[in-house]
Amino acid sequence: GVTYLEPGSSQMGKKESIADTARVLGRMYDGIEYRGFSQDLVQELSDYAGVPVWNGLTDQFHPTQVLADFLTIQEEFGTLKGIKLVYVGDGRNNMANSLMIGAAKMGMHFVIGSPKSLFPEDGLVAECRKIAQDCQSGAVIEVLDDPKAAVKGAHAVYTDVWASMGEEDQIPARVKLLTPYKVTMEMVQKTGNPDVLFLHCLPAFHD
Ligand code: NVA
């Protein structure tokens, strides 16, 4: 069975502490998925719950989405190793971060195409390159600001929303900044791959 605790239905982090909530939930459930904003909060839940806690989305990471996307890529190409996956758009959001970590582990050629102001943190890029080296996955990680150069030769192209949950006030500025990174038919053709796969984590805002 599953119990859904919606945002308004508990005092977690407001009245009761996260640690106390974690201890109580850990006694009642076999596992806890947390979907919210703060990475520290999911970390604290996991420190105190005594049962598996996993991230269902935070501002920093979105690993469960990556599991689903990688299953799709594997289904399409029969492998992940050596697949060139290009993410264009906001290069330092939860999806870009988690795709980069996943790609490093699975031996993919992962490219971020993003404006310099939205490049991922250098520390995380270095950590991913180290993961690739330590597990000898063969992964290659690149970060470019030229979207057309980034998508060249892609097996799969990925993008995300203009601005993530909680950043809605930044949408007008982001649309301006990220328009050159929008996945249009012209961008798809720049891959040079007529069988290129396109992925989007949703939600997609069409207007
Ligand atoms: N970057 C997006 C992912 C949604 C699945 C967001 O955080 O809103």
pLDDT per residue over 112-140, tens digit each?
Answer: 999 999 999 999 999 999 999 999 999 99
Buried/exposed 157-166: b ≥16 CB within 10 Å, e otherwise: bbbbbbbbee
- Residue to mutate (ligand 1; options 118, 160, 202; most atoms within 8 A of CB): 160
Residue 93: CB within 6 Å of ligand 1?
yes
pLDDT in tens, 156-187: 999 999 999 899 999 999 999 999 999 999 99
CA 199 to centroid of ligand 1, rounded, Å:
13
Helix runs in the chain, H state only: 18-28, 39-49, 63-77, 94-106, 122-134, 147-151, 171-178, 185-190
> Is the pTM higher than 0.85?
yes
pLDDT at 10 over 90: no
Residue 97: CB within 6 Å of ligand 1?
no
Residue 58: CB within 6 Å of ligand 1?
no
User: Confidence class of residue 14 from pLDDT cuts 50, 70 and 90?
Assistant: confident
List residues bridging with 55 in a β-sheet.
34
- Average pLDDT of the segment spanning 95-114: 98
Burial, 205: exposed, middle or buried (Cβ in 10 Å; 0-12, 13-18, 19+)? exposed
In order of 77, 95, 118, 171, the CA distances from 57 in angstroms are 26, 9, 19, 20
pLDDT at 8 over 70: yes
Helix axes 18-28, 39-49, angle to 10 degrees: 50
Residue 118: CB within 6 Å of ligand 1?
no
pLDDT at 207 over 80: no
Phi, psi of 130 (to 5 degrees): -70, -40
> Which residues does 87 contact at the CB level (< 8 Å), separation at least 6?
95, 96, 99, 100, 110, 111, 112, 113, 114, 157, 158, 159, 160
User: What ligand 1 atom has the least distance to the C-alpha of 160?
Assistant: 1
